[in-house]
Amino acid sequence: MLHVQIREDIKNAMRAREALRLEVLRGILTAYTNELVATKRTPQDTLDDEGCIVVLKRQVKQRKDAAEQFEKGGRPELAQKERDELVIIEAFLPTLMSREEIKKIAIAKKEELGVTDKSGMGKFIGAVMKDCGGNADGNDVKSVVEELLA
């Protein structure tokens, strides 16, 4: 389980004196605890892998947004720190589908739904995302769908 693995990795990061990794892992564990409390469970419970992945994806999005904001604000050193943290977090996520895999699913879904123009794009993107099972980046799905409808 991811929750248990994070706890073990915290111990290993402490032993190895990896400050950044330890900071990120502790942040993830805190986010897990917050998720447990938000879903009316006790902080001592263990979050299932599906719940862990949802939290990790939220963490990834926060890091990407923060890095982008720091770049716009002229703080490249802080943006780099966010990207370094992002690498650590993404290591716990399942690998994302490639654009080619997404395109295969999207082509099949396009025929199934009978979408021919951009008016049905929202429904089309949602259906493709559902078929990908959360293993695809939303931006990749959107760009593949736009290519197919162009």
Tell me which of 90, 109, 137 is where a domain ends.
Answer: 90
Q: What is the DSSP letter of 118?
A: G
CA gyration radius for the chain?
19
Q: Which amino acid is at 77?
A: E
Residue environment code for 101-114, b if the CB has 16+ CB neighbours within 10 A, otherwise e: ebbebbeebbeeee
Are 53 and 75 found together in one domain?
yes
Are 71 and 125 found together in one domain?
no
50-105: pLDDT as tens digits: 889 889 989 999 999 999 999 999 999 999 999 999 999 999 988 888 888 888 88
**135: pLDDT strictly greater than 90:** no
pTM of this structure:
0.73
Are 79 and 111 found together in one domain?
no
